[in-house]
Structure 1
Amino acid sequence: MFTARGLFSAGTLSAVALLAGCMSGGPGGGGFGRAPSVEGEWLSTDGVAVSRFSGGVFETVATDTGNKLADGSYRMADARTVEITVISLIRQTTTNVNCALASPDQLNCTSSAGQTFVLTRRPRAVS
């Protein structure tokens, strides 16, 4: 036999489970209440390179040849700051870069050497 209290508790638990499901999306997901994500592809403002962010792995390729220019790793320092370790395959150097998520589609970046650059989110292909 169900009581009003038992029915309310079951309904409350179902609502909490549903809300939790909305809040936990996969990488790059825009679930309810989630911080913006850098997952995906970002284009340099000069159009020369595309940087990919996926599951902590960073990679940059040339837009004209598709050749890999750099790789490395990244981590979110906070909801709006990403720290990237860039390993240049051309120069054989490692550089630390900090990027601020200025908007969901723009990263303002500064390298440890003081160079600044901007990346813009590449629109996702519609399939």
Structure 2
Amino acid sequence: MQEFTRKSSIQNQVMLFMTDKDLEDENTKKVLSFVINKVAQDTANYLNIDLNDIPEKLDGTLTGLVTQYLDTHQCLPSQQQNSANLQSLTEGDVSYSYKTPGEIYQGLQTANTITDNYIPILNNFRKLPWS
């Protein structure tokens, strides 16, 4: 996956909305890096432009998309023990089974990060391909 050149700027903005627990966890930056690259690549694909040609005017929109993605998919360490990651539960002798990080990443790769809330904004920057 190609690296988004303004990733650190987006990352700094997203980290303002994170809990102290997330900021202290070593896996947070790895997850955040993956999500920012995914959102940026999905945005570039939607706009039909190269990844690093995304206008700086959309940095606020990218920050919103990343934050929304992290919240809806609950992939931050502070959200890991949430029931959304619960894979199975047995009541007799109590047994819990959570999704592995690999299963979470696999699910994140297939998710569409461009939601209806942001499409009108992105459409202002979209270039339609000519056949």
TM-score, normalisation: structure 2: 0.26
State which structure, 1 or 2, has the greater radius of gyration over its C-alpha atoms: 1
Instruction: Report which structure shows greater RCO (CA 8 Å, sep ≥6).
Output: 2
TM-score, normalisation: structure 1: 0.26
More strand by share: 1
